[in-house]
Structure 1
């Protein structure tokens, strides 16, 4: 932490040194915010208060500041690779500047107590776990997922559509809550298929469960929710896995024609001289690709909405954070602080003097 002895320290110098530390690490402000959220979650901060808005993190790196939140400063340098002792030195440095009265004499001068040790981040390939939402939120999401699946079944049955739409609730629950929650939604909704006029639904519960596991583990264990390209691939994988289970089941249980709208696709392919087995697999794969891409992206939209409306943790799926609109800033205790809306962030970029650090 460079601080020449022959020059007085200041908040501007702290900001400049933070920029150098961040540039040496090479992470973006969005990545830094996600790291801070993970650190806070691991030491017990509620998920809805864990991830600071990017604008809040960005402002710490700006020159012309009158104070620095020492709790956030500690989390920033920890997220950039500093150990606990080094983080304490950054905090004490900020406190000394405030004691000297160079910028903000009205700010508290006591150093914040050291944060408890933070466990190591999960290694690549391990399952990312986020704290579970409150029980009533989980219950509402499970019931909502079941209703979404049943609604999709009813619409397809009523309109005789050549797609499925029976896994939107499964996909949404799996990526928001986890694969096993998605599996519960899959089983219950398929078992209730007869209530919406689809008595053939229960045998395909296994297909629905397979989709839940692919979506749920895909975004947690394999980082398939990091960007739009990887999420697209995840939906294609879900389609192929579901077809690999659903097509043989359709042949064995229903002889290739289950009374679903996509039977027309199977018949069209079979009339070209294609054997029935090949026709069933071809129709199922084609239909499933369209259906799972549509299902996956509808589930993504649902997660983005839930992330903004209920502040559900999206640390395991950075794509959701990037697609979400800016939210009011939260301090380390979860209380809202002013001046971090989109318009507020625009004002701080123009009203404060000095060069902005590189994004």
Structure 2
């Protein structure tokens, strides 16, 4: 026990101790992405100067502040980071004082030992090895390819079994949630192009529906109030269903006289037989089918993502599975979840 207390005391009085506590603070605020921390610091600096200019630090600078093994740490930057993570001004000052104290202690130790090892000069544009960038490109490409195959498999399954669902957007949902909305759009277009081999040109026409779903899923899971709990994610899938129906119904009415040959057309026929006009019947049947389909698709996507989470995190330590956030919300009901997932648009842009 005494040894453990000594170790904790040593860690507390070191830069690694500050970094460890900084990481814990970031986790407790919902794993705010480094890009979002940078944006918040930039906004605060602009407000402080009064000119509104977004004077944000480099993302690599903020990323380095969370790296263990440092021999120096900028107290002002640490203060800005903890402020961006929601701490008040008193707490910000305490963090800065702690950094100054550790820095002073480190300098005294250097003078006493006559040995002072400093961090090598780092290029702000290269904080991760090029191999890491190549790994991310390979990872993104592999995920997109697998998602296109998932969409094609859904097409084939529905066509073979004549299911009342669509199941043509599982890959789109996975890609939009994991990579970002516009990656989801690319997967949607590629998946529907592949679906032309099964359903003909109709599949490409309805790519617009798939694209709409990708955008809602992709942007929705990145909003703090849309996908932080199971209930909110359930509602997000309902929103996807409504948006997809609003896009699909005009296409059905204008291009296919209300029917596409899908099994859901039987429900449309039931509604028209009961006295509904064609537009109402198509809207009701497509809406009901879409709700069931998007709920199934969304939660199937979560299962796929959670199954792959450990492999994803080995490539990108910033990635957080939606299911992880749901469990975190249940354990910490007062925690504010902010931007729980990464947007991989940054992958294709070299860090400044």
TM-score, normalization: structure 2?
0.62
1:256 counterpart = 2:258: yes
Q: Structure 1 stretch 314-323 or stretch 143-152: which is displaced more?
A: 314-323
Change over 3 Å in CA distance of 1:140–1:258 after alignment to 2: same
**How much does 1:182 deviate?**
1.0
Could you tell me how far apart the structure 2 residues matched to 1:222 and 1:150 are? Answer: 31
**How much does 1:257 deviate?**
1.7
Match of 1:322 in 2: 325
Could you tell me how far apart the structure 1 residues matched to 2:73 and 2:310 are? Answer: 22
How do residues 51-66 of structure 1 correspond to structure 2 at under 5 angstroms? none
Among 153, 158, 161, which residue is 1:159 paired with?
A: 161
SS where residue 184 of structure 2 aligns?
helix
Among 162, 175, 178, which residue is 2:177 paired with?
A: 175
How do residues 213-228 of structure 1 correspond to structure 2 at under 5 angstroms? 213-220=215-222, 223-228=225-230
Could you tell me how far apart the structure 1 residues matched to 2:227 and 2:165 are? Answer: 24
Match of 1:30 in 2: 28
Among 268, 278, 282, which residue is 2:270 paired with?
A: 268
Among 289, 295, 307, which residue is 2:291 paired with?
A: 289
Match of 2:337 in 1: none
Change over 3 Å in CA distance of 1:163–1:257 after alignment to 2: same
**How much does 1:134 deviate?**
1.3
Q: Write the deviation string for residues 298-348 of structure 1: whole angstroms up to 9, x where unpaired.
A: 2222233333212165868673443689xxxxxxxxxxxxxxxxxxxxxxx
Q: Write the deviation string for residues 268-289 of structure 1: whole angstroms up to 9, x where unpaired.
A: 2222222222111000000101
Q: Structure 1 stretch 255-264 or stretch 72-81: which is displaced more?
A: 72-81
Structure 1 unpaired stretches of 5+ = 1-9, 57-67, 118-130, 326-359
1:94 counterpart = 2:102: yes
How do residues 1-359 of structure 1 correspond to structure 2 at under 5 angstroms? 29-31=27-29, 33-34=31-32, 39=37, 43-44=59-60, 79-81=81-83, 89-94=97-102, 134-197=136-199, 199-220=201-222, 223-311=225-313, 313=316, 319-322=322-325
Could you tell me how far apart the structure 2 residues matched to 1:257 and 1:204 are? Answer: 13
Could you tell me how far apart the structure 1 residues matched to 2:61 and 2:157 are? Answer: 42
Could you tell me how far apart the structure 2 residues matched to 1:202 and 1:308 are? Answer: 34
Change over 3 Å in CA distance of 1:76–1:168 after alignment to 2: farther
Could you tell me how far apart the structure 2 residues matched to 1:172 and 1:132 are? Answer: 22
Contact 2:71 2:119 in 1 (8 A): yes
Could you tell me how far apart the structure 1 residues matched to 2:135 and 2:318 are? Answer: 13
Structure holding more helix per residue: 2
Q: Write the deviation string for residues 202-241 of structure 1: whole angstroms up to 9, x where unpaired.
A: 2101111111111112223565233322222211111001
Q: Write the deviation string for residues 223-264 of structure 1: whole angstroms up to 9, x where unpaired.
A: 523332222221111100100010121122111121111112
Contact 1:314 1:320 in 2 (8 A): no
**How much does 1:183 deviate?**
1.0
Contact 1:257 1:263 in 2 (8 A): yes
Could you tell me how far apart the structure 2 residues matched to 1:133 and 1:298 are? Answer: 26
Structure 2 unpaired stretches of 5+ = 1-8, 39-56, 84-88, 125-132, 329-352
SS where residue 166 of structure 2 aligns?
coil
Match of 2:5 in 1: none
Contact 1:300 1:320 in 2 (8 A): yes
**Cα RMSD after superposing both structures:** 4.5
Contact 1:171 1:299 in 2 (8 A): yes
Contact 1:169 1:299 in 2 (8 A): yes
